């Protein structure tokens, strides 16, 4: 399997204006990127910036613009006993955010959202049923929203956040996992074909807390989700899992940033995706920063992509930055490739028809990461959706 990235020299030539390179040269450290609650601190992206270079920004102008909006999403919730969902104003919304927004889309979600919805799981709660929030788009108007999620000390809960319908949605999701809590957040992107979704999911993991974030992206014209983690104290554990399946014309982009800001913390990042159809596009960018004060860290990030048809493209960029030599382990891996011809040959030589053999290979590709999700209803939904995608691809091949 081979990964090819663009390594053009931006300084080539003798008459380069240094100002023209602004935003195009990566920051010396991932930590150097701007975070702010003010939209004025984020120019409208041109696509030449490091954090936007893979994204079709020419189709996102309404989500970058200042102004007012009349768009909305329909909310449906299923809240177990003790869990509350309340509307808060801008100042309290700001206080609930572990970190400020990190790009133009996220800051507009905060600024134009007019406050936040605060979902709180009380301390010591042990929820046997998931918390469910379903957001449904009802039109193509821009929508901006901030959802703040707090898991109290030593609580245990799973939150399922579903997105469907049609919208242009910019989302700022902030998550605080207090000391000793065990929180799983599942975010499902099952939009209609024309929907656009830009999201920043910002999490603070408390001392000895466990946090799992599972991103599943199957629908939408453009979906771009940034999943960021940092730590409030030692002993925190973060697991980031992602599954995506892009069809013709879709752009599915996932970025993660794990900022090890406390000693003896761990992180595991695993994303897998498949692509089929002309102009299907996926992007995964994984950043891990181990700061000088964060000794005894164990981290690993992995991305795998399976290209099913000609005309599809996957970009995969893992980055690891280490500021201390006192670590337990750190590494990353990335690959993009087509079907394994040997696997297909083996199955077909034993009488398995080619279309069924291809399905088996894809199922095997996703099986291990789906098993790690650990939420049966999500696993079943995901396997059914993958079967639908495969049925469409095989039907088109026929």
- Same domain? For 186 and 55 the reply is yes
* 333-382 pLDDT, tens digit each: 999 988 767 777 777 888 788 778 878 888 888 999 999 988 888 898 88
pLDDT for 242: 97
Range scoring the smallest mean pLDDT among 30-44, 58-72, 384-398: 384-398
Identify whether 384 is part of a domain: yes
Structure tokens, 91: 């100042």
- Same domain? For 94 and 199 the reply is yes
- Mean pLDDT value across residues 40-60: 96
pLDDT for 316: 97
Extended beta strands in 181-236, E state: 182-191, 196-205, 210-217, 222-231
- Same domain? For 302 and 372 the reply is no
- Same domain? For 188 and 202 the reply is yes
Identify whether 284 is part of a domain: yes
- Same domain? For 387 and 308 the reply is no
Residue 391 has pLDDT above 90, yes or no: no
- Same domain? For 238 and 386 the reply is no
Residue 63 has pLDDT above 70, yes or no: yes
Q: 79: buried, middle or exposed (CB in 10 Å: 19+, 13-18, 0-12)?
A: middle
- Same domain? For 292 and 356 the reply is no
- Same domain? For 309 and 394 the reply is no
* 289-341 pLDDT, tens digit each: 999 999 999 999 999 999 988 899 999 999 999 999 899 999 999 999 887 67
- Same domain? For 286 and 395 the reply is no
Identify whether 2 is part of a domain: no
Identify whether 12 is part of a domain: no
- Mean pLDDT value across residues 14-39: 65
pLDDT above 70: percentage of residues in the chain: 90
- Ramachandran sector of residue 359 (left: φ over 0; alpha: ψ -120 to 50; beta: rest): alpha
- Same domain? For 381 and 246 the reply is no
- Same domain? For 328 and 372 the reply is no
Report the distance separating Cα 80 and Cα 169, nearest Å.
27
Q: Which of 319, 338, 357 is the last residue of a domain?
A: 338
Q: 16: buried, middle or exposed (CB in 10 Å: 19+, 13-18, 0-12)?
A: exposed
Q: Which of 291, 310, 338 is the last residue of a domain?
A: 338
Residue 73 has pLDDT above 70, yes or no: yes
Q: 226: buried, middle or exposed (CB in 10 Å: 19+, 13-18, 0-12)?
A: buried
- Mean pLDDT value across residues 152-178: 97
Structure tokens, 379: 């696993």
Give me the phi and psi of 211, to 5 degrees please.
-130, 130
Identify whether 4 is part of a domain: no
Identify whether 3 is part of a domain: no
Residue 146 has pLDDT above 70, yes or no: yes
pLDDT for 389: 80
pLDDT for 393: 61
- Same domain? For 233 and 89 the reply is yes
Which domain range does residue 203 map to? 20-338
Number of neighbouring beta carbons within 10 Å of residue 251: 20
pLDDT range class, residue 10, cuts 50, 70, 90? very low
Instruction: Work out how many domains the chain is built from and give that number.
Output: 2
Residue 398 has pLDDT above 60, yes or no: no
Question: 349: part of which helix (H) or strand (E)?
Answer: helix 341-349
Distances (CA, A) of 160 to 96, 213, 214, 250: 20, 10, 9, 24
């Amino acid at each position: 399997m081979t990964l090819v990235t663009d390594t053009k020299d931006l300084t080539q030539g003798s008459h380069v204006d240094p100002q023209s390179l602004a935003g195009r040269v990566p920051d010396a450290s991932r930590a150097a990127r701007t975070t702010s609650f003010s939209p004025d601190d984020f120019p409208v992206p041109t696509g030449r910036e490091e954090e936007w270079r893979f994204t079709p920004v020419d189709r996102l102008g309404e989500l970058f613009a200042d102004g007012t909006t009349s768009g909305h999403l329909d909310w449906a919730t299923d809240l177990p006993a003790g869990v509350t969902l309340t509307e808060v104003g801008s100042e309290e919304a700001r206080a609930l955010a572990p970190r400020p927004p990190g790009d133009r889309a996220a800051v507009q979600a905060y600024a134009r959202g007019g406050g936040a919805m605060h979902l709180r799981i009380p301390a010591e709660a042990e929820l046997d049923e998931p918390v469910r929030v379903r957001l449904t788009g009802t039109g193509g108007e821009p929508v901006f929203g901030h959802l703040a999620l707090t898991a109290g000390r030593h609580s245990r809960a799973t939150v399922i956040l579903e997105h469907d319908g049609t919208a242009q949605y910019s989302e700022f999701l902030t998550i605080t996992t207090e000391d000793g809590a065990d929180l799983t957040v599942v975010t499902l992107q099952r939009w209609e074909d024309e929907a656009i979704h830009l999201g920043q999911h910002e999490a603070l993991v408390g001392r000895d807390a466990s946090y799992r974030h599972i991103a599943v992206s199957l629908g939408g014209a453009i979906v771009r989700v940034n999943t960021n983690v940092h730590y409030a104290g030692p002993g925190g554990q973060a697991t980031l899992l992602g599954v995506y399946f892009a069809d013709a014309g879709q752009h599915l982009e996932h970025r993660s940033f794990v900022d090890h800001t406390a000693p003896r913390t761990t992180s595991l990042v695993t994303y897998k995706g498949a692509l089929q159809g002309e102009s299907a596009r996926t992007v995964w960018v994984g950043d891990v920063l181990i700061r000088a004060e964060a000794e005894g860290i164990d981290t690993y990030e992995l991305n795998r992509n399976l290209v099913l048809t000609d005309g599809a493209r996957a970009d995969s960029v893992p980055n690891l930055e280490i500021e201390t030599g006192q670590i337990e382990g750190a590494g990353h891996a990335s690959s993009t490739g087509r079907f394994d011809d040997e696997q297909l040959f083996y199955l077909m030589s034993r009488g398995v028809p080619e279309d069924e053999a291809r399905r088996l290979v894809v199922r095997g590709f996703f099986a291990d990461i789906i098993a790690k999700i650990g939420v049966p209803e999500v696993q079943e939904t995901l396997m059914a959706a993958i079967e639908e995608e495969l049925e469409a691809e095989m039907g088109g091949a026929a």
